[in-house]
Amino acid sequence: MPELPEVEVCRQGIEPHVLKKIVDKVIVRNRQMRWPVSEDINELQGQEIVAVERRAKYLLLKTAKGTLLLHLGMSGTIRVIDEAFPLKKHDHFDLVLTTGKALRLNDPRRFGAILWLKGDVSSHPLLRALGPEPLTDNFPQGYLYEKSRNKTVPIKTFLMNNHVVVGVGNIYANESLFQAGIRPTTPAGKISRKRYDALTLIVKDVLAKAIKQGGTTLKDFTQSDGKPGYFAQELQVYGRGGEACVVCETTLKEIKQGGRATVYCPKCQAR
């Protein structure tokens, strides 16, 4: 599933092609997505897209009349193409602009979302309970420490909770905890303020570097296949279970937490 950096690069990629552009028409080829696509989405026709934003892993295309919310689910991709570009299997949705370009959503598994929202989008059930964005001032040092008091869940589970902070998915939680020297199984409430403050800065750095790498990798979004993917990064632990630690050469251990792969160094990430 695409994580925050992949979705942010997607936002950055499509923004130049849709911002301040007028919607010519809306084409829905399959309304049975994660939630049925409402007929009200046709209200987008004739609207100018005044902002292209991201909240967690949701893309928000704002107009004066409402907001188009897009989510890529587990397998979705977005491409900016010419309106007449031949259809592929699972091309379920086109947002056609008066420029002749179209924003096209392809989603084989149909776990993605295409929603038309009115009013204050922050109050929508999908968004209102989300934690702060990690790359903003709303995620300062001290925040994780205060939120973690009396919590017995493992720190990796705590860090991946979108009600605590959004966008720290499995890959980036593994990498951040390794760099912070924190074992993923440690109870969240047992970690000191000093270590949480270091972890906060590391999370910000890991995500920012991933976004920067993604922008470099994709370059021109219209020339990519629209697939966010995971960028060509030097991952230090994720996907490397059984291999040698890049720091101490100890064999990395892989376990399952909440059905997700967790990889850590038994020496560098002491209890």
| pLDDT tens string 152-191 | 999 999 999 999 999 999 999 999 999 999 999 999 999 9
Q: Does the active-site annotation cover 86?
A: no
Known catalytic membership, residue 57: yes
**Could you tell me if 34 and 106 are in contact, meaning their C-beta atoms sit under 8 angstroms apart?**
no
Of residues 57, 62, 79, 101, which has the active-site annotation? 57
* Torsion sign, CA atoms 84, 214, 71, 47: negative
pTM here is: 0.89
Query: Is 260 an active-site residue?
Result: yes
Q: How confident is the model at residue 201 (pLDDT cuts 50, 70, 90)?
A: very high
| Sequence-ordered strand ranges (E) for 99-225 | 101-106, 113-117
Q: Amino acid letter at 172?
A: Y
Indicate if the pLDDT at residue 143 is higher than 60. yes
Q: Where would I find the beta strands (DSSP E) of 164-241?
A: none
Looking at residue 31, what is its pLDDT? 87
Cβ(152)–Cβ(188) below 8 Å = yes
Q: What is the dihedral of CA 48, 53, 58, 59, to 10 degrees?
A: 40
Separation between Cα atoms, residue 89 and residue 108, nearest integer Å: 8
β-pairing, 91-97 with 113-117?
unpaired
Q: Which of 209, 240, 260, 267 is catalytic?
A: 260
Tell me the percentage of the chain whose pLDDT exceeds 90.
Answer: 70
Q: Given 3, 6, 8, 15, which residue is catalytic?
A: 3
Mean per-residue pLDDT of the chain: 91
Taking the C-alpha atoms of residue 180 and residue 268, their distance in angstroms, rounded to an integer, is 9
Q: What are residue 52's DSSP bridge partners?
A: 61
Highest mean pLDDT among 30-39, 187-196, 229-238: 187-196
Per the model's pLDDT, the better-predicted residue between 13 and 264 turns out to be 264
